[in-house]
Structure 1
Amino acid sequence: MKKKKTLRLLLPQWQGGDNPNYVFGSELLAHIVPQSTVSETVRISVNQDFEKDRPIEQGVKNERALMKQLDEAMAVLENKAPDKVIVLGGDCAVSQAPFDYLNGRYGGKLGILWLDAHPDVATTEETSHGHEMVLGNLLGEGAPAFAEKVKHPFQPNQVMFAGLKYEELRSRDQAVNRLNLRYVTPQDVKDSSEPILAWIKENDIQYLAVHFDLDVLSPIDFRSTYFSEPYLEEFGAAVGELTLNQIVRILTDASEQAEIVGLSIAEHLPWDAMNLRQALAKISIFDDSE
Protein backbone atom coordinates (compact mmCIF):
# COMPACT_ATOMS: atom_id res chain seq x y z
CA MET A 1 0.00 0.00 0.00
CA LYS A 2 1.31 3.42 -0.96
CA LYS A 3 2.26 5.57 2.03
CA LYS A 4 0.09 8.64 2.40
CA LYS A 5 1.73 12.00 1.74
CA THR A 6 1.64 14.53 4.57
CA LEU A 7 2.20 18.24 4.03
CA ARG A 8 2.97 20.68 6.83
CA LEU A 9 1.87 24.27 6.33
CA LEU A 10 3.63 26.87 8.44
CA LEU A 11 1.08 29.66 8.45
CA PRO A 12 2.00 32.40 10.97
CA GLN A 13 -1.18 34.29 10.22
CA TRP A 14 -2.08 37.02 12.71
CA GLN A 15 -4.49 39.27 10.85
CA GLY A 16 -7.59 37.16 11.54
CA GLY A 17 -7.27 37.84 15.25
CA ASP A 18 -5.55 41.20 14.69
CA ASN A 19 -2.78 40.05 17.03
CA PRO A 20 0.87 40.14 15.85
CA ASN A 21 1.86 37.78 18.69
CA TYR A 22 0.45 34.87 16.69
CA VAL A 23 3.44 35.10 14.34
CA PHE A 24 5.99 34.17 16.99
CA GLY A 25 3.61 31.57 18.41
CA SER A 26 3.34 29.85 15.03
CA GLU A 27 7.07 29.93 14.37
CA LEU A 28 7.86 28.47 17.80
CA LEU A 29 5.19 25.82 17.29
CA ALA A 30 7.10 24.62 14.23
CA HIS A 31 9.99 23.72 16.55
CA ILE A 32 7.79 22.21 19.26
CA VAL A 33 5.82 19.70 17.19
CA PRO A 34 7.37 16.27 16.53
CA GLN A 35 9.84 16.65 13.71
CA SER A 36 9.76 14.68 10.47
CA THR A 37 12.37 13.78 7.85
CA VAL A 38 9.65 12.68 5.44
CA SER A 39 6.92 15.33 5.46
CA GLU A 40 7.51 18.50 3.47
CA THR A 41 6.99 21.85 5.19
CA VAL A 42 5.84 24.86 3.17
CA ARG A 43 5.74 28.33 4.66
CA ILE A 44 2.93 30.60 3.52
CA SER A 45 3.92 34.22 2.99
CA VAL A 46 2.46 36.42 5.72
CA ASN A 47 2.68 40.20 5.76
CA GLN A 48 4.38 41.29 8.98
CA ASP A 49 4.05 45.06 8.63
CA PHE A 50 2.43 45.44 12.04
CA GLU A 51 2.49 49.25 11.95
CA LYS A 52 0.50 49.60 8.74
CA ASP A 53 -3.16 50.67 8.91
CA ARG A 54 -5.49 47.68 9.11
CA PRO A 55 -8.78 48.68 7.45
CA ILE A 56 -12.08 46.83 7.49
CA GLU A 57 -13.12 45.83 3.96
CA GLN A 58 -16.17 43.73 3.09
CA GLY A 59 -16.80 43.54 6.82
CA VAL A 60 -13.44 41.94 7.66
CA LYS A 61 -10.42 43.61 9.23
CA ASN A 62 -7.20 42.98 7.30
CA GLU A 63 -9.34 41.50 4.51
CA ARG A 64 -6.81 41.89 1.70
CA ALA A 65 -3.96 40.26 3.58
CA LEU A 66 -6.18 37.40 4.76
CA MET A 67 -7.51 36.79 1.27
CA LYS A 68 -4.01 36.79 -0.23
CA GLN A 69 -2.81 34.26 2.35
CA LEU A 70 -5.89 32.09 1.83
CA ASP A 71 -5.32 32.05 -1.93
CA GLU A 72 -1.66 31.12 -1.49
CA ALA A 73 -2.49 28.31 0.92
CA MET A 74 -5.10 26.89 -1.45
CA ALA A 75 -2.68 27.07 -4.38
CA VAL A 76 -0.03 25.19 -2.41
CA LEU A 77 -2.49 22.48 -1.39
CA GLU A 78 -3.77 22.01 -4.92
CA ASN A 79 -0.24 21.91 -6.31
CA LYS A 80 1.21 19.54 -3.69
CA ALA A 81 -1.96 17.38 -3.48
CA PRO A 82 -1.22 15.86 -0.06
CA ASP A 83 -3.30 13.13 1.58
CA LYS A 84 -2.86 14.67 5.02
CA VAL A 85 -2.28 18.24 6.17
CA ILE A 86 -0.81 19.63 9.39
CA VAL A 87 -1.17 23.40 9.87
CA LEU A 88 1.02 25.29 12.29
CA GLY A 89 -0.85 28.53 13.00
CA GLY A 90 -1.53 31.31 13.50
CA ASP A 91 -5.06 32.47 14.29
CA CYS A 92 -8.07 30.16 13.87
CA ALA A 93 -8.72 31.24 10.28
CA VAL A 94 -5.78 29.05 9.17
CA SER A 95 -8.17 26.07 9.05
CA GLN A 96 -10.23 27.29 6.08
CA ALA A 97 -7.94 26.31 3.20
CA PRO A 98 -6.86 22.85 4.45
CA PHE A 99 -10.33 21.76 5.59
CA ASP A 100 -11.92 22.89 2.32
CA TYR A 101 -9.23 21.01 0.39
CA LEU A 102 -9.61 17.84 2.46
CA ASN A 103 -13.39 17.82 2.13
CA GLY A 104 -12.94 17.78 -1.61
CA ARG A 105 -10.27 15.10 -1.47
CA TYR A 106 -12.34 12.77 0.69
CA GLY A 107 -15.66 13.22 -1.06
CA GLY A 108 -17.83 14.34 1.83
CA LYS A 109 -16.72 11.46 4.10
CA LEU A 110 -14.77 13.99 6.15
CA GLY A 111 -15.89 15.29 9.52
CA ILE A 112 -14.62 18.35 11.38
CA LEU A 113 -13.81 17.93 15.05
CA TRP A 114 -13.55 21.51 16.34
CA LEU A 115 -11.65 21.57 19.64
CA ASP A 116 -12.38 25.05 20.91
CA ALA A 117 -14.01 26.90 23.78
CA HIS A 118 -15.63 29.15 21.13
CA PRO A 119 -17.47 28.13 17.93
CA ASP A 120 -16.08 30.59 15.33
CA VAL A 121 -19.40 30.79 13.47
CA ALA A 122 -19.95 34.57 13.60
CA THR A 123 -20.83 36.78 10.63
CA THR A 124 -19.69 40.22 9.52
CA GLU A 125 -22.79 41.65 11.20
CA GLU A 126 -21.38 40.64 14.58
CA THR A 127 -17.59 40.95 14.28
CA SER A 128 -14.85 42.10 11.92
CA HIS A 129 -12.30 39.51 13.09
CA GLY A 130 -11.84 36.78 10.51
CA HIS A 131 -10.83 34.14 13.02
CA GLU A 132 -14.29 34.29 14.60
CA MET A 133 -15.96 33.45 11.26
CA VAL A 134 -13.84 30.65 9.82
CA LEU A 135 -16.12 27.71 10.58
CA GLY A 136 -19.05 29.80 9.43
CA ASN A 137 -17.23 30.26 6.11
CA LEU A 138 -16.78 26.51 5.74
CA LEU A 139 -20.52 26.06 6.34
CA GLY A 140 -21.41 28.61 3.66
CA GLU A 141 -22.07 31.52 6.03
CA GLY A 142 -19.57 33.67 7.95
CA ALA A 143 -17.95 36.40 5.85
CA PRO A 144 -19.50 36.32 2.34
CA ALA A 145 -16.24 37.04 0.48
CA PHE A 146 -14.49 34.18 2.28
CA ALA A 147 -17.44 31.77 2.17
CA GLU A 148 -17.50 32.22 -1.61
CA LYS A 149 -13.93 30.91 -1.73
CA VAL A 150 -14.97 27.56 -0.23
CA LYS A 151 -15.11 25.00 -3.04
CA HIS A 152 -16.40 22.12 -0.91
CA PRO A 153 -18.78 23.47 1.77
CA PHE A 154 -19.54 21.34 4.80
CA GLN A 155 -22.97 20.26 5.98
CA PRO A 156 -23.91 20.83 9.64
CA ASN A 157 -23.86 17.09 10.41
CA GLN A 158 -20.17 17.01 9.42
CA VAL A 159 -19.24 19.26 12.37
CA MET A 160 -18.73 18.41 16.02
CA PHE A 161 -17.53 20.82 18.73
CA ALA A 162 -15.59 19.42 21.67
CA GLY A 163 -14.83 21.49 24.75
CA LEU A 164 -17.31 24.19 23.72
CA LYS A 165 -18.42 26.43 26.60
CA TYR A 166 -22.03 26.25 25.48
CA GLU A 167 -23.42 28.03 28.53
CA GLU A 168 -21.28 31.06 27.64
CA LEU A 169 -22.26 31.42 23.99
CA ARG A 170 -22.58 35.04 22.88
CA SER A 171 -24.96 36.59 20.36
CA ARG A 172 -22.30 36.11 17.67
CA ASP A 173 -22.26 32.38 18.39
CA GLN A 174 -25.93 31.58 17.86
CA ALA A 175 -25.42 29.75 14.56
CA VAL A 176 -24.57 26.79 16.81
CA ASN A 177 -28.26 26.60 17.72
CA ARG A 178 -29.69 27.81 14.42
CA LEU A 179 -27.79 25.16 12.45
CA ASN A 180 -28.26 22.54 15.16
CA LEU A 181 -24.53 21.86 15.29
CA ARG A 182 -23.45 18.99 17.52
CA TYR A 183 -21.36 19.84 20.56
CA VAL A 184 -20.01 18.48 23.80
CA THR A 185 -18.97 20.65 26.73
CA PRO A 186 -15.80 20.07 28.75
CA GLN A 187 -17.85 18.18 31.35
CA ASP A 188 -19.35 15.93 28.67
CA VAL A 189 -15.94 14.62 27.60
CA LYS A 190 -14.05 14.96 30.85
CA ASP A 191 -13.93 11.18 31.37
CA SER A 192 -15.17 9.68 28.10
CA SER A 193 -14.94 10.28 24.35
CA GLU A 194 -18.16 8.34 23.69
CA PRO A 195 -20.31 11.31 22.51
CA ILE A 196 -17.74 12.08 19.82
CA LEU A 197 -17.46 8.44 18.79
CA ALA A 198 -21.26 8.25 18.52
CA TRP A 199 -21.27 11.28 16.17
CA ILE A 200 -18.60 9.64 13.99
CA LYS A 201 -20.59 6.42 13.75
CA GLU A 202 -24.01 8.04 13.19
CA ASN A 203 -22.73 10.14 10.29
CA ASP A 204 -20.52 7.48 8.68
CA ILE A 205 -17.48 9.69 9.03
CA GLN A 206 -14.39 7.94 7.73
CA TYR A 207 -11.87 10.80 7.94
CA LEU A 208 -11.36 13.65 10.39
CA ALA A 209 -10.00 17.16 10.13
CA VAL A 210 -9.21 18.40 13.63
CA HIS A 211 -9.11 22.08 14.54
CA PHE A 212 -7.15 22.37 17.78
CA ASP A 213 -7.49 25.87 19.18
CA LEU A 214 -5.23 25.83 22.21
CA ASP A 215 -7.68 27.98 24.12
CA VAL A 216 -9.82 24.86 24.59
CA LEU A 217 -7.29 24.04 27.30
CA SER A 218 -7.51 25.06 30.92
CA PRO A 219 -4.99 27.78 31.89
CA ILE A 220 -4.25 25.66 34.94
CA ASP A 221 -3.05 22.86 32.67
CA PHE A 222 -1.52 24.88 29.79
CA ARG A 223 -0.25 28.44 29.94
CA SER A 224 0.49 29.49 26.35
CA THR A 225 -2.99 30.79 25.55
CA TYR A 226 -4.65 34.18 25.22
CA PHE A 227 -6.19 34.18 28.68
CA SER A 228 -2.88 33.28 30.35
CA GLU A 229 -1.31 36.63 29.48
CA PRO A 230 0.63 37.85 32.54
CA TYR A 231 -1.27 40.39 34.64
CA LEU A 232 -4.44 40.00 32.57
CA GLU A 233 -7.25 40.51 35.05
CA GLU A 234 -10.24 39.70 32.86
CA PHE A 235 -10.80 37.87 29.58
CA GLY A 236 -13.89 38.81 27.60
CA ALA A 237 -14.86 35.35 26.39
CA ALA A 238 -15.15 31.76 27.61
CA VAL A 239 -12.05 30.16 29.12
CA GLY A 240 -11.18 26.55 28.20
CA GLU A 241 -11.37 23.70 30.70
CA LEU A 242 -9.88 20.61 29.05
CA THR A 243 -6.39 19.23 29.70
CA LEU A 244 -3.73 18.09 27.27
CA ASN A 245 -4.17 14.52 28.46
CA GLN A 246 -7.90 14.69 27.75
CA ILE A 247 -7.24 16.04 24.25
CA VAL A 248 -4.81 13.20 23.56
CA ARG A 249 -7.36 10.66 24.79
CA ILE A 250 -10.11 12.18 22.64
CA LEU A 251 -7.96 12.16 19.50
CA THR A 252 -6.62 8.67 20.19
CA ASP A 253 -10.13 7.30 20.63
CA ALA A 254 -11.44 9.16 17.58
CA SER A 255 -8.58 7.92 15.40
CA GLU A 256 -9.64 4.33 16.08
CA GLN A 257 -12.93 5.01 14.27
CA ALA A 258 -11.90 7.57 11.65
CA GLU A 259 -8.53 8.43 10.14
CA ILE A 260 -7.20 11.84 11.13
CA VAL A 261 -6.08 13.44 7.88
CA GLY A 262 -6.00 17.07 8.98
CA LEU A 263 -4.78 18.88 12.08
CA SER A 264 -4.67 22.64 12.54
CA ILE A 265 -3.06 23.96 15.70
CA ALA A 266 -4.07 27.55 16.36
CA GLU A 267 -3.61 30.49 18.71
CA HIS A 268 -0.36 29.50 20.38
CA LEU A 269 0.72 32.40 22.60
CA PRO A 270 3.87 31.44 24.53
CA TRP A 271 3.95 34.49 26.80
CA ASP A 272 7.15 33.67 28.68
CA ALA A 273 9.14 33.12 25.48
CA MET A 274 7.72 36.25 23.83
CA ASN A 275 8.32 38.43 26.87
CA LEU A 276 11.84 37.10 27.34
CA ARG A 277 12.67 37.81 23.69
CA GLN A 278 11.33 41.35 23.92
CA ALA A 279 13.22 41.98 27.16
CA LEU A 280 16.51 40.69 25.80
CA ALA A 281 16.13 42.90 22.72
CA LYS A 282 16.50 45.93 25.01
CA ILE A 283 19.94 44.83 26.27
CA SER A 284 22.85 46.44 24.44
CA ILE A 285 24.86 43.28 23.81
CA PHE A 286 22.11 42.07 21.46
CA ASP A 287 22.27 45.26 19.39
CA ASP A 288 23.94 44.32 16.10
CA SER A 289 23.74 47.82 14.65
CA GLU A 290 26.94 48.97 16.34
Structure 2
Amino acid sequence: MNKNTLRLVLPQWQGGMNQNYILGAQLLAAIVPPSMQAETITVPTSVAAVGNQQVDAQETLLTQMKLTTDILATKQPAKVITLGGDCSVSEAPFDYLHGQYPTDFGVIWLDAHPDISDPQTSSHVHEMVVANLLQQGAPAFNEQVQHPLQPEQIFFAGLQYQDLRPMDAAVDTLKIAYATPQQLESSDLIGDWLKQQQIKHLAIHWDLDVLSPDSYRSILPAQPGLDQSQFCAAIGSMTLTSVIQLLTAISAQTEVVGLTIAEHMPWDAINLRNGLARLPIFE
Protein backbone atom coordinates (compact mmCIF):
# COMPACT_ATOMS: atom_id res chain seq x y z
CA MET A 1 0.00 0.00 0.00
CA ASN A 2 1.52 3.28 -1.07
CA LYS A 3 1.32 6.68 0.53
CA ASN A 4 -1.23 7.77 -2.05
CA THR A 5 -3.96 5.58 -0.57
CA LEU A 6 -6.75 7.35 1.27
CA ARG A 7 -8.82 5.57 3.87
CA LEU A 8 -12.25 7.12 4.34
CA VAL A 9 -14.24 6.36 7.46
CA LEU A 10 -17.76 7.22 6.34
CA PRO A 11 -20.42 6.42 8.96
CA GLN A 12 -23.23 7.39 6.59
CA TRP A 13 -26.47 5.79 7.70
CA GLN A 14 -29.21 7.77 5.98
CA GLY A 15 -29.03 5.66 2.80
CA GLY A 16 -30.50 2.78 4.78
CA MET A 17 -32.17 4.90 7.49
CA ASN A 18 -30.52 2.87 10.24
CA GLN A 19 -28.34 4.70 12.75
CA ASN A 20 -26.70 1.44 13.84
CA TYR A 21 -24.48 1.80 10.76
CA ILE A 22 -22.67 4.63 12.55
CA LEU A 23 -21.19 2.30 15.16
CA GLY A 24 -20.61 -0.29 12.45
CA ALA A 25 -18.35 2.10 10.54
CA GLN A 26 -16.53 3.23 13.66
CA LEU A 27 -15.71 -0.34 14.62
CA LEU A 28 -14.64 -1.21 11.07
CA ALA A 29 -12.06 1.56 11.34
CA ALA A 30 -10.53 -0.31 14.27
CA ILE A 31 -10.85 -3.76 12.68
CA VAL A 32 -9.27 -3.23 9.25
CA PRO A 33 -5.49 -3.70 9.08
CA PRO A 34 -3.58 -0.55 10.04
CA SER A 35 -1.28 1.22 7.63
CA MET A 36 1.31 3.84 8.44
CA GLN A 37 1.36 4.88 4.79
CA ALA A 38 -2.35 5.45 4.15
CA GLU A 39 -3.94 8.65 5.37
CA THR A 40 -7.22 8.22 7.24
CA ILE A 41 -9.99 10.82 7.14
CA THR A 42 -13.33 10.54 8.90
CA VAL A 43 -16.01 12.22 6.80
CA PRO A 44 -18.37 14.29 8.96
CA THR A 45 -21.89 12.90 8.83
CA SER A 46 -25.07 14.36 10.22
CA VAL A 47 -27.41 12.93 12.82
CA ALA A 48 -30.21 14.47 10.76
CA ALA A 49 -32.05 12.91 7.85
CA VAL A 50 -33.50 15.77 5.83
CA GLY A 51 -35.17 14.91 2.55
CA ASN A 52 -38.36 14.70 0.56
CA GLN A 53 -41.16 12.16 0.29
CA GLN A 54 -39.63 10.30 -2.65
CA VAL A 55 -36.05 9.66 -1.44
CA ASP A 56 -35.38 9.41 2.27
CA ALA A 57 -32.84 11.95 3.57
CA GLN A 58 -32.04 13.14 0.04
CA GLU A 59 -30.81 16.59 1.07
CA THR A 60 -28.58 15.25 3.83
CA LEU A 61 -27.15 12.50 1.62
CA LEU A 62 -26.39 14.82 -1.29
CA THR A 63 -24.55 17.17 1.07
CA GLN A 64 -22.49 14.33 2.58
CA MET A 65 -21.66 12.87 -0.83
CA LYS A 66 -20.57 16.31 -2.08
CA LEU A 67 -18.31 16.63 0.98
CA THR A 68 -16.81 13.21 0.24
CA THR A 69 -16.24 14.21 -3.38
CA ASP A 70 -14.54 17.45 -2.29
CA ILE A 71 -12.20 15.55 0.04
CA LEU A 72 -11.23 13.19 -2.76
CA ALA A 73 -10.70 16.06 -5.19
CA THR A 74 -8.39 17.76 -2.69
CA LYS A 75 -6.40 14.68 -1.71
CA GLN A 76 -6.26 13.11 -5.22
CA PRO A 77 -5.50 9.58 -3.99
CA ALA A 78 -4.59 6.77 -6.37
CA LYS A 79 -6.52 4.29 -4.24
CA VAL A 80 -9.47 4.62 -1.87
CA ILE A 81 -10.56 2.38 1.00
CA THR A 82 -14.04 3.27 2.26
CA LEU A 83 -15.40 2.04 5.56
CA GLY A 84 -19.16 2.43 5.91
CA GLY A 85 -21.90 2.91 6.76
CA ASP A 86 -24.66 1.81 4.43
CA CYS A 87 -24.05 0.83 0.81
CA SER A 88 -24.46 4.38 -0.48
CA VAL A 89 -20.94 5.18 0.78
CA SER A 90 -19.48 3.76 -2.46
CA GLU A 91 -21.15 6.31 -4.72
CA ALA A 92 -18.72 9.23 -4.40
CA PRO A 93 -15.47 7.16 -4.17
CA PHE A 94 -16.33 4.97 -7.17
CA ASP A 95 -17.35 7.99 -9.24
CA TYR A 96 -14.03 9.63 -8.33
CA LEU A 97 -12.02 6.51 -9.20
CA HIS A 98 -13.71 6.17 -12.57
CA GLY A 99 -12.56 9.72 -13.27
CA GLN A 100 -9.01 8.72 -12.37
CA TYR A 101 -9.06 5.57 -14.54
CA PRO A 102 -11.52 6.38 -17.35
CA THR A 103 -10.59 3.75 -19.94
CA ASP A 104 -9.99 0.46 -18.10
CA PHE A 105 -12.06 0.70 -14.92
CA GLY A 106 -14.54 -1.80 -13.56
CA VAL A 107 -16.63 -2.44 -10.47
CA ILE A 108 -17.34 -5.70 -8.69
CA TRP A 109 -20.41 -5.40 -6.49
CA LEU A 110 -20.01 -8.19 -3.93
CA ASP A 111 -23.48 -8.31 -2.46
CA ALA A 112 -26.50 -10.55 -2.06
CA HIS A 113 -28.54 -7.68 -3.57
CA PRO A 114 -27.88 -5.61 -6.72
CA ASP A 115 -28.76 -2.15 -5.27
CA ILE A 116 -30.08 -1.13 -8.68
CA SER A 117 -33.58 0.16 -7.88
CA ASP A 118 -34.94 3.67 -8.43
CA PRO A 119 -37.34 6.07 -6.66
CA GLN A 120 -40.31 4.30 -8.23
CA THR A 121 -39.45 1.07 -6.41
CA SER A 122 -37.57 2.22 -3.29
CA SER A 123 -37.08 5.27 -1.09
CA HIS A 124 -33.69 4.13 0.26
CA VAL A 125 -30.56 5.26 -1.57
CA HIS A 126 -28.55 2.24 -0.45
CA GLU A 127 -30.90 0.19 -2.66
CA MET A 128 -30.24 2.36 -5.74
CA VAL A 129 -26.55 3.28 -5.52
CA VAL A 130 -25.55 1.16 -8.54
CA ALA A 131 -28.36 2.72 -10.56
CA ASN A 132 -27.10 6.16 -9.53
CA LEU A 133 -23.58 5.30 -10.72
CA LEU A 134 -25.16 4.38 -14.06
CA GLN A 135 -27.14 7.66 -13.97
CA GLN A 136 -30.33 5.60 -13.99
CA GLY A 137 -31.35 6.01 -10.37
CA ALA A 138 -32.67 8.99 -8.43
CA PRO A 139 -32.45 12.16 -10.57
CA ALA A 140 -30.65 14.36 -8.02
CA PHE A 141 -28.05 11.66 -7.38
CA ASN A 142 -27.68 10.95 -11.11
CA GLU A 143 -26.76 14.60 -11.60
CA GLN A 144 -24.10 14.44 -8.91
CA VAL A 145 -22.32 11.54 -10.65
CA GLN A 146 -19.68 13.03 -12.96
CA HIS A 147 -18.24 9.83 -14.43
CA PRO A 148 -21.14 7.44 -15.04
CA LEU A 149 -20.48 3.75 -15.47
CA GLN A 150 -21.73 1.59 -18.31
CA PRO A 151 -23.49 -1.72 -17.56
CA GLU A 152 -20.62 -3.77 -18.96
CA GLN A 153 -18.28 -2.21 -16.37
CA ILE A 154 -20.19 -3.82 -13.49
CA PHE A 155 -20.16 -7.40 -12.20
CA PHE A 156 -22.49 -8.59 -9.44
CA ALA A 157 -20.71 -11.24 -7.36
CA GLY A 158 -22.47 -13.40 -4.80
CA LEU A 159 -25.86 -12.24 -6.08
CA GLN A 160 -28.85 -14.20 -4.81
CA TYR A 161 -30.30 -14.17 -8.30
CA GLN A 162 -33.16 -16.54 -7.53
CA ASP A 163 -34.46 -14.05 -4.94
CA LEU A 164 -34.46 -10.94 -7.13
CA ARG A 165 -37.48 -8.69 -6.64
CA PRO A 166 -39.28 -6.45 -9.16
CA MET A 167 -37.13 -3.56 -7.87
CA ASP A 168 -34.06 -5.49 -9.08
CA ALA A 169 -35.27 -5.92 -12.67
CA ALA A 170 -32.46 -3.78 -14.14
CA VAL A 171 -30.03 -6.66 -13.59
CA ASP A 172 -31.69 -8.36 -16.54
CA THR A 173 -32.89 -5.39 -18.57
CA LEU A 174 -29.38 -3.89 -18.58
CA LYS A 175 -27.79 -7.34 -19.04
CA ILE A 176 -25.29 -6.85 -16.22
CA ALA A 177 -22.91 -9.75 -15.63
CA TYR A 178 -23.33 -11.70 -12.41
CA ALA A 179 -22.38 -14.85 -10.55
CA THR A 180 -24.28 -16.54 -7.75
CA PRO A 181 -22.35 -17.92 -4.77
CA GLN A 182 -22.63 -21.39 -6.27
CA GLN A 183 -21.24 -20.21 -9.62
CA LEU A 184 -18.31 -18.50 -7.90
CA GLU A 185 -17.35 -21.85 -6.39
CA SER A 186 -17.36 -23.74 -9.69
CA SER A 187 -16.14 -21.30 -12.34
CA ASP A 188 -13.99 -18.24 -12.96
CA LEU A 189 -16.70 -15.97 -14.33
CA ILE A 190 -15.06 -12.94 -12.75
CA GLY A 191 -11.69 -13.71 -14.34
CA ASP A 192 -13.36 -14.16 -17.70
CA TRP A 193 -15.19 -10.83 -17.29
CA LEU A 194 -11.99 -9.01 -16.31
CA LYS A 195 -10.30 -10.26 -19.47
CA GLN A 196 -13.26 -9.65 -21.75
CA GLN A 197 -13.74 -6.08 -20.56
CA GLN A 198 -9.98 -5.45 -20.29
CA ILE A 199 -10.30 -4.23 -16.71
CA LYS A 200 -6.95 -3.08 -15.36
CA HIS A 201 -8.20 -0.95 -12.46
CA LEU A 202 -10.94 -2.31 -10.24
CA ALA A 203 -13.11 -1.06 -7.40
CA ILE A 204 -14.76 -3.65 -5.16
CA HIS A 205 -17.85 -2.94 -3.09
CA TRP A 206 -18.18 -5.54 -0.34
CA ASP A 207 -21.54 -5.49 1.39
CA LEU A 208 -21.03 -7.78 4.34
CA ASP A 209 -24.61 -8.98 3.79
CA VAL A 210 -23.24 -11.25 1.04
CA LEU A 211 -22.12 -13.47 3.92
CA SER A 212 -24.24 -16.12 5.57
CA PRO A 213 -25.47 -15.16 9.06
CA ASP A 214 -24.08 -18.52 10.18
CA SER A 215 -20.64 -17.49 8.94
CA TYR A 216 -20.59 -13.87 10.08
CA ARG A 217 -22.74 -12.51 12.87
CA SER A 218 -22.27 -8.76 12.38
CA ILE A 219 -24.78 -8.27 9.57
CA LEU A 220 -28.41 -7.18 9.50
CA PRO A 221 -30.05 -10.64 9.08
CA ALA A 222 -27.98 -12.04 11.98
CA GLN A 223 -29.93 -9.99 14.52
CA PRO A 224 -30.34 -12.11 17.67
CA GLY A 225 -33.77 -13.66 17.85
CA LEU A 226 -34.68 -12.80 14.25
CA ASP A 227 -36.83 -15.29 12.34
CA GLN A 228 -34.84 -15.31 9.11
CA SER A 229 -37.81 -16.67 7.17
CA GLN A 230 -39.49 -13.32 7.80
CA PHE A 231 -36.51 -11.22 6.64
CA CYS A 232 -37.60 -8.78 3.93
CA ALA A 233 -34.72 -9.34 1.49
CA ALA A 234 -32.41 -12.06 0.21
CA ILE A 235 -29.98 -13.48 2.75
CA GLY A 236 -26.35 -14.08 1.76
CA SER A 237 -24.84 -17.56 1.74
CA MET A 238 -21.08 -17.05 1.31
CA THR A 239 -18.55 -17.77 4.04
CA LEU A 240 -15.95 -15.32 5.24
CA THR A 241 -13.22 -17.73 4.11
CA SER A 242 -14.63 -17.98 0.59
CA VAL A 243 -14.92 -14.18 0.26
CA ILE A 244 -11.33 -13.62 1.39
CA GLN A 245 -10.17 -16.27 -1.07
CA LEU A 246 -12.16 -14.57 -3.82
CA LEU A 247 -10.74 -11.13 -3.03
CA THR A 248 -7.23 -12.57 -2.95
CA ALA A 249 -7.70 -14.19 -6.37
CA ILE A 250 -9.13 -10.99 -7.86
CA SER A 251 -6.23 -8.95 -6.47
CA ALA A 252 -3.82 -11.25 -8.30
CA GLN A 253 -5.60 -10.70 -11.62
CA THR A 254 -5.91 -6.91 -11.71
CA GLU A 255 -5.08 -3.82 -9.68
CA VAL A 256 -7.62 -3.11 -6.98
CA VAL A 257 -7.77 0.68 -6.57
CA GLY A 258 -10.93 0.87 -4.52
CA LEU A 259 -12.37 -1.22 -1.71
CA THR A 260 -15.54 -0.48 0.21
CA ILE A 261 -16.68 -2.49 3.20
CA ALA A 262 -20.27 -1.63 4.06
CA GLU A 263 -23.29 -2.51 6.19
CA HIS A 264 -21.36 -3.73 9.21
CA MET A 265 -23.94 -4.45 11.92
CA PRO A 266 -22.11 -5.54 15.10
CA TRP A 267 -25.11 -6.69 17.08
CA ASP A 268 -23.30 -7.57 20.30
CA ALA A 269 -21.64 -4.16 20.47
CA ILE A 270 -24.89 -2.39 19.54
CA ASN A 271 -26.92 -4.22 22.17
CA LEU A 272 -24.25 -3.74 24.82
CA ARG A 273 -24.10 0.01 24.11
CA ASN A 274 -27.89 0.37 24.15
CA GLY A 275 -28.14 -1.58 27.37
CA LEU A 276 -25.45 0.43 29.12
CA ALA A 277 -27.08 3.67 27.99
CA ARG A 278 -30.01 2.92 30.31
CA LEU A 279 -27.78 3.02 33.40
CA PRO A 280 -27.78 6.28 35.36
CA ILE A 281 -23.99 6.29 35.70
CA PHE A 282 -23.70 6.91 31.94
CA GLU A 283 -26.01 9.90 31.93
- One fold, TM greater than 0.5? yes
Go from structure 1 to structure 2 and tell me whether the alpha carbon gap of 1:285 and 1:3 turns closer, same or farther (over 3 Å shift): closer
Match of 2:132 in 1: 137
2:2 and 2:236 map into 1 onto residues whose CA distance is: 36
C-alpha distance after superposition, 1:82-122 (max 9, x if no partner)? 00000010000000001001011012311100000000000
1:228 correspondence with 2:222: yes
Alignment pair present for 1:208 and 2:207? no
**Cα distance in 2, alignment partners of residues 284 and 66 from structure 1:** 34
Classify the secondary structure of the residue corresponding to 2:244: helix
Residue of structure 2 equivalent to 1:43: 42
The residue number in structure 2 matching 1:270 is 266
Contact 1:56 1:128 in 2 (8 A): no
Q: Which residue of 2 aligns with 1:217?
A: 211
User: 1:199 matched to which residue of 2?
Assistant: 193
1:9 aligns with 2:19: no
RMSD: 1.4
Deviations 1:221-260 (A, max 9, x none): 0011110111222211100011111111111111112100
Name 1:249's counterpart in structure 2: 245
Specify the SS of the correspondent of 2:184: coil
SS in 1 for 2:194: helix
Match for residue 69 of structure 1? Answer: 64
Between the aligned partners of 2:118 and 2:282, the Cα distance in structure 1 is 45
- For the Cα contact (< 8 Å) 1:121–1:135, is it kept in 2? yes
Q: Is the 2:51–2:59 contact (alpha carbons within 8 Å) kept by the matching residues of 1?
A: no
Note the 1:160-179 alignment, pairs <5 A. Answer: 160-179=155-174
Task: Find out whether 1:282 has 2:278 as its counterpart.
Answer: yes
Normalising by structure 1, report the TM-score.
0.94
Q: Could you say what secondary structure the match of 1:157 adopts?
A: helix
Q: CA–CA distance in 1 between the matches of 2:125 and 2:36?
A: 33
- State percent identity of aligned pairs: 50
CA distance in 1, matches of 2:275, 2:151: 46
- How far, CA to CA, are the matches of 1:108 and 1:65 in structure 2? 32
In structure 2, C-alpha distance between the alignment counterparts of 1:253 and 1:108, rounded to whole Å: 23
1:191 is displaced (CA, Å) by 4.8
Unaligned residue ranges in structure 1 (runs of 5+): none
Q: Structure 1: how far apart are the matches of 2:276 and 2:67?
A: 34
- Pairs within 5 Å for 1:95-110: 95-110=90-105
Question: 1:284: Cα distance to partner?
Answer: 3.3
1:12 Cα offset (Å): 0.2
Q: Which runs of 5+ in 2 are unaligned?
A: none
TM-score (norm 2): 0.96
Conserved? CA contact 2:51–2:60, under 8 Å = no
Residue matched to 1:26: 25
Asked whether the 8 Å contact 1:112–1:208 carries over to 2, the reply is yes
Count residues in correspondence: 281
Deviations 1:253-274 (A, max 9, x none): 1111210000011100000011
CA drift at 1:286: 3.2
